[in-house]
Amino acid sequence: MRIIAGEMRGRQLKAVEGIHTRPTSDKVKGAIFSVLGEKVLNSRVLDLFAGTGNLAIEALSRGSREAVLVEKNHDAYQVIQKNLSLLGVADKTKLHLMDAFKFIDRYPNEVFNLIFLDPPYRQELIPKVIQSIKDFAYLTPDGVIVAETAKDEDLTGVIYPFEIRKTGEYGDTKIWYLQRMDV
């Protein structure tokens, strides 16, 4: 696993041993950031279910100003700490060892330009996150939620007040790009 573009291009990331995390592949990550384009520049990023920190670190490499990473698995949290330190971006990040929903409850006034949601597949966590953040100003008016699911999962009808602006399928993975309906 590596950073694919930006100032840290080619740098390797440490991964968590075992099957507790499923890092986003380089192909899928490249597609995500191609769609996001300049929205990444100067953005404030939230990476819930951070795993290895792969998506947040890629965003920082491509010009995001700050990233908040949330991971509840202690082993994954330690790997993220190592990755942030090895790549020299710890000063641009806040890393929380906690459940994603506890983070949302504890920090209801946070605002982000980009929110990455890559939870374990088939546990219906993305609709629950949407329900948790819908009443807060968690996303800037032109912000984007990037959600990763299994290809056979469906988010239509469960994401109000957000709407699907684009989707992409890559093997067994589906990427959803969501924005507020009033934008």
pLDDT band at residue 2 using 50, 70 and 90 as cut-offs: confident
Looking at residue 164, which CATH number applies to its domain? 3.40.50.150
Q: Point out which residues pair with 117 in neighbouring strands.
A: 48, 147
Cα–Cα dist 23/51, whole Å? 7
Please tell me the total count of domains within the chain. Answer: 1
Residue with tokens 């986003």: 24
Determine the longest span between alpha carbons in the chain, in angstroms: 42
Question: What ranges in the chain are assigned the alpha helix state H?
Answer: 26-36, 54-61, 74-86, 100-106, 125-133
Q: Which domain holds residue 128?
A: 2-180
What percentage of the chain reaches a pLDDT higher than 90?
A: 70
Which range has the worst mean pLDDT, 72-81, 108-117, 156-165? 156-165
CB distance 67 to 56 below 8 Å: yes
State pLDDT tens for residues 109-160.
999 999 999 998 889 899 999 989 988 889 999 999 999 999 999 988 778 8
Average pLDDT, the chain: 90
User: What 3 state SS string does 50-74 have?
Assistant: CCCCHHHHHHHHCCCCEEEEEECCH
Residue with tokens 């993975």: 173
